[in-house]
Amino acid sequence: MSDEKEIRDLLATYALTLDVDDSEGCFKLFTEDGEFLVYGRTWAREQLREMFTRAPRGMHLCGAALVELYGDTATARSQMLFIDSSTHELRPALYVDDLVRSEGRWRFRRRRCQFLTAKGLSDRPQEQQS
């Protein structure tokens, strides 16, 4: 399998694993020094289980992704649309990922989520109108 295909599979695995509430599975997708930047906060790897457990439930729909390879490292930019399971609110987002091939597979070293709002990219989703 090509590196680009493996990375695209990693992006999809993240979404599908989180959607079925598998916080341990999501945790394993990050390197030992991995981190996640979302909602204006940086979560270190040891905090990721808590973050995944506390995350709102819903569905993450993967969109277009651009992957750039640099040997055993890579970057990916991808679209994600989150649908909240309790309110059905939509949260469009862009992810920027720094990836590393670790122990024979691609993992997230750094994952950043920014939300698309009427004012542009933001660390927080746009408030929904009632």
User: Which CATH number is 78's domain given?
Assistant: 3.10.450.50
Within a domain: 125: no
Q: How far is it between the farthest Cα atoms of the chain?
A: 48
Assign 129 a pLDDT band (cuts: 50, 70, 90). low
Within a domain: 95: yes
Buried b (16+ CB within 10 A) or exposed e, 38-63: beeeebebeebeebbeebeebebebe
State how many domains the chain has. 1
- Cβ atoms 98, 37 nearer than 8 A: no
Question: Containing domain of residue 104, as a range?
Answer: 3-119
Within a domain: 109: yes
Q: How confident is the model over 49-102, as pLDDT tens digits? A: 999 998 889 999 999 999 999 999 999 999 999 999 999 999 999 999 999 998
Provide the pLDDT for residue 127: 72
Assign 115 a pLDDT band (cuts: 50, 70, 90). very high
Q: Three-class SS of residue 21? A: coil
Provide the pLDDT for residue 107: 98
